[in-house]
Amino acid sequence: MLHSTIRRHALLPLPQFHRIFFATSTSSPLSGGSTSSRDSHFMVEYLVNSCGFSVEEASKASKPLAHLRSTENPDAVLSFFRSQGIDGANLRKIISIRPSFLCWNVESNLTPKFQFFRDLGLSESDLVAVIMKNPSIISFSIQHTLLPRLNVWENLFGSRELLLKNIRKRCWFLNNRCENVVRPNLNFLRDECDIPLERASLVLKKHPTFIAQNPNSLRALVDRAEGMGFTRRSRIFLWILDILFRTSREKVDAHSKLMSSFGWSNLEFCTAIEKQPGFLNISTDILRLKMEFLIKDIGFTPSGIAKQPRLLVFSLKKRTIPRFQVMKILKSEGLWTSNDKQLMFFTMPDPKFLEKYILPYKDKFPKLLEISCAVAE
């Protein structure tokens, strides 16, 4: 169950946090009045010369900066960003998204934030990459926003290592308020979908944005899944929700239409999703090629594939076609017996396949080993 309170132990040692917290303050414009006393082209020219903006880009970015009377603070901010490895196109991107950063105090606002994330465990290159994905992350208060959210997510992920891994990959999940989004979603899954936190954590560790989506969107997703014929009672209902969350309605419809053209019923389509949700990740064109090869070249039936949809997730180039080549050689040499099951031949793990079908014949039929080695390269 998600705890609403901050964990007893802070993410960082208390002395470090004490220093960071009391050095952090909200950003404030560096102005002496409510209106600009300088020409409107003042910051436009500055952004063009100092950052390499076009006049049009600079004009747009300068609008929130009209109150500035000098370049002293923007100079300090740009110098700081460059010292942290943010320059050129990256610098223009971050200023375009958040021009107000140029109004921030480096010592009380920016330095503590960067130090906080370094202390958390992000390298300099990691931090730059994270900020470029989500510049908003350095606009959050350490004490009131970052620390509470990171503590909640570290609890949900189960370790600092997984927390950092997900921050590096998809830091957007930190933008959502845990109390308004994460907790309601977890409660909904538990109370109305019979999905306990322990099971939900299996999905959120890989795709935290699933739990961080708008609660209304999650409810709509459940309705969408039920409309396709899936039930909340299914033990894999959570995985179906996860794959539907990451797959557009248009793509699912395209897959359904394609499989229908091969003779699948809607029940077979839904059953295949239940058995192998990942096949929805495959592009429609690749899925068509796989179905055609499995049916026309190998001899599987559409209904047989529907019952064993894992055949669809194997790579044509690295698994299905090479094994089909091996099968043809074995058949031509009379080494394929009636006891050899076609399904098992294509689904068998690589080590076992090598042991059973390649190594016993590698000296007599070196082509088999060539095929196997080519796949491994």
When pLDDT is cut at 50, 70 and 90, the band that residue 376 belongs to is: low
Lowest mean pLDDT segment, chosen from 39-48, 69-78, 134-143, 320-329: 39-48
All structural domains of the chain: 14-26+38-172 (1.25.70.10), 177-245 (no CATH), 248-313 (no CATH), 314-377 (no CATH)
Q: Which residue has the higher pLDDT, 334 or 29?
A: 334
CB 299 within 8 A of CB 265: no
**pLDDT surpasses 80 at 247:** yes
What tokens does 163 get? Answer: 């927390």
pLDDT of residue 2: 35
**pLDDT surpasses 60 at 351:** yes
Q: Is 201 helix (H, G, I), strand (E, B) or coil?
A: helix
Q: What is the 3-state secondary structure (H, E, C) of 226-276?
A: HHCCCCCCCCCHHHHHHHHHCCCHHHHHHHHHHHHHCCCCHHHHHHHHHHC
Q: Which residue has the higher pLDDT, 311 or 26?
A: 311
Q: What angle do CA 210, 214, 215 make, to 5 degrees?
A: 95
3-state helix, strand, coil in the chain (%, to 5): 70, 0, 30
Q: Of 131, 125, 123, nearest to 97 (Cα)?
A: 131
pLDDT of residue 335: 86
Residues 44 and 56: their CA atoms lie apart, in Å, by 9
When pLDDT is cut at 50, 70 and 90, the band that residue 26 belongs to is: very low
CB contact burial 190-218 (16+ within 10 A = b; e otherwise): beebebeeeebbebbbebbebbbbeeeeb
Q: Please identify which residue in the block is written with the tokens 């209902």.
A: 237
pLDDT of residue 86: 95
When pLDDT is cut at 50, 70 and 90, the band that residue 341 belongs to is: confident
CB 156 within 8 A of CB 2: yes
State how far the alpha carbon of 355 is from the alpha carbons of 17, 43, 314, in Å: 57, 70, 20
When pLDDT is cut at 50, 70 and 90, the band that residue 336 belongs to is: confident
CB 137 within 8 A of CB 130: yes
Residue type for position 119: D
Predicted TM-score of the model (pTM): 0.69
Rounded to an integer, the average pLDDT of 240-245 is 94
Rounded to an integer, the average pLDDT of 144-164 is 92
**pLDDT surpasses 80 at 14:** no
Percent of the chain with pLDDT over 90: 70
Rounded to an integer, the average pLDDT of 279-298 is 96
Residues 356 and 114: their CA atoms lie apart, in Å, by 55
pLDDT of residue 219: 97
Q: What angle do CA 191, 197, 199 make, to 5 degrees?
A: 110
What tokens does 286 get? Answer: 């690749």
**pLDDT surpasses 90 at 142:** yes
**pLDDT surpasses 80 at 82:** yes
When pLDDT is cut at 50, 70 and 90, the band that residue 71 belongs to is: very high
Q: Which residue has the higher pLDDT, 3 or 212?
A: 212
**pLDDT surpasses 50 at 69:** yes
